[in-house]
A and B are shown apart, each in its own frame.
Chain A
Amino acid sequence: MEDGDQIIKKFMYMNRKAPYGTIYAWESLEVVLIAAAFDQDISLVFADDGVYQLMDGQNTEEVGMKNFSKTYSALGDYDIKKIYIEQESLEERGLSLGDLQDLKYEDEDDDWAEKDSIILISRAELAKVIDEQDVVFSF
């Protein structure tokens, strides 16, 4: 899609790994924060063990790693409004949306009303959304 000289593509960032066992989750978040400056159509996906990245009440004191979980709540300020959570991944791990952080954004087209960024999506529906993307990064 072209908007004047500016190319706007659909970028998807797929997060599939638990937050602290490896560095993928943290470095993926670093990519997303940089990407936000490029005015592209961004969506994030949390699937498989990636759903653990958004668990509420994380405490990393004992493992000695930086607790970056608070950063996710800032995504709305970076204009990232589409955060897909795969339903089956939650269920397979005995989790529900209530176990995750509540992520919001302020809608500039609706008097800055606070809205949910999180979209619960089935595996089958997610496949369709992936298919619509121009670029899919998997971390």
Chain B
Amino acid sequence: MKYGILVNEGPYTHQASDSALAFTKAALEKGHEIFRVFFYHDGVNNGTSLAIPPQDDRHIPNQWSELAKEHNIDLVLCVAAAQRRGLLDESEAKRNSKAASNMIEGFRISGLGQLIEAGIQGDRMVVFGD
């Protein structure tokens, strides 16, 4: 089955990111396809390269980044939600004259159309959040 996944909450504050990661890993292990993981609302904070969780805790942004590298899955941060919350890739930082970018490898920034497309192209859309 081909899955679209939506993550609506930020890491650590809410379990949604952990659940979405676990679901994504389980789906891949079972041989399913992940069409796209789309991050919206505070979910865009999953894509930060600046998180430093305590050493005895899980590193959620790194886990997404490694998963993307390993399985070549498409991780997309909503551009409007990301800009509001100060999540920028290099080109967004440059375009908005910001001093730095802070998006971790494996993610990309794009528009909400990518979420709708995942709904159209996927067999199932699974939403993580409240």
Contact = CB atoms under 8 A, between A and B. Distances in A.
A139 B116 contact: no
Per DSSP, are chain A's interface residues mostly helix, strand or loop, or mixed? mixed
A40 to B, nearest CB: 7
A137 B41 contact: no
B82 to A, nearest CB: 12
Contact of B111 (A34, A136, A138, A139): A34
Nearest to A138: B127
Nearest to B40: A27
A24 B127 contact: no
Nearest to B41: A27
Interface in B104-118: 111-113, 115-117
Nearest to B124: A135
Interface string B32-45: 00000000110000
Interface of A: 7, 9, 11, 23-24, 27, 30-31, 34-35, 37-38, 40, 134-139
